[in-house]
Amino acid sequence: MGSQSFRSEQRITHRHLAPYACRTRYARGLKDPESEKRLDDRALKALLEGGSGWRREGNALTKTYVLKGFKAAMAFANRVAEAANAANHHPDIHIEGYRNVRMVLTTHSAGGITDADVELAARIDRTERAGTPSAAS
- Domain range summary for the chain, segments of one domain joined by +: 33-136
Q: Please choose, from the candidates 72, 67, 58, 66, the residue with its C-alpha nearest in 3D space to the C-alpha of residue 117.
A: 58
Q: Which residue has the higher pLDDT, 47 or 25?
A: 47
5-19, 74-88, 101-115, 122-136: range with lowest mean pLDDT = 5-19
**CA distance linking residue 88 with residue 61, whole number of Å:** 17
pLDDT in tens, 36-93: 778 777 777 777 888 889 999 999 999 999 999 999 999 999 999 999 999 999 999 9
Q: Which residue has the higher pLDDT, 10 or 101?
A: 101
Calculate the alpha carbon distances from 28 to 25, 31, 80 in Å: 5, 9, 31
**CA distance linking residue 137 with residue 77, whole number of Å:** 16
Q: Is residue 24 predicted with pLDDT exceeding 50?
A: no
pTM of the entire predicted model: 0.69
Give percent of the chain with pLDDT exceeding 70.
69
**CA distance linking residue 85 with residue 42, whole number of Å:** 29
Using alpha carbons only, what angle is made at residue 76 by residues 70 and 104, rounded to the nearest 5 degrees?
Answer: 100
Q: Please choose, from the candidates 120, 111, 129, the residue with its C-alpha nearest in 3D space to the C-alpha of residue 87.
A: 120
Helix (H, G, I), strand (E, B) or coil at 12: coil
Assigned CATH topology for domain 33-136 = Gyrase A; domain 2 (3.30.1360)
pLDDT on residue 34: 55
Radius of gyration of the CA atoms of the chain, in A: 17
Q: Which residue has the higher pLDDT, 100 or 9?
A: 100
Tally Cβ neighbours within 10 Å of residue 109: 17
